[in-house]
Amino acid sequence: MNAAAPVLSQERLDEISHAISQAQASIGMADDLLLRLRADYPELRFSQCSEDDIPARLQPVLAAEGFDLYLMDTREHCITLSNDLDTASGVVIAWRNDDGSDT
């Protein structure tokens, strides 16, 4: 039996990033964004946080204006951040403070 196809691809990640960028202007960083993403991509998990909540050693899989995207791997008991599209089952949106301040 063949292994299941990955849930995420670079194309899908680009699509999600575009959806977030489009929604930013109208609904900002509200929970409505997560509800919309979960409805549009029911096979994926979504979470959001501040960029400050992500360890500095990790690199985003996609950087966009105002946010970075990280992948989550939920295969084990604890959720981990990953850069592996083949094992990713969700996306973390890390909102950036792009005003140039350190706070």
Condensed to tens digits (0 to 9), the pLDDT of residues 6-56 reads 678 999 999 999 999 888 777 655 568 899 999 999 999 999 999 999 999
CA distances from residue 25 to 20, 21, 29 in whole angstroms, order as listed: 9, 7, 9
Rounded Cα gap, residues 74 and 87, in angstroms:
8
> Residue 19, exposed/middle/buried by CB under 10 A (0-12, 13-18, 19+)?
middle
- The average confidence (pLDDT) of the chain is 85
Residue with tokens 């604890």: 78
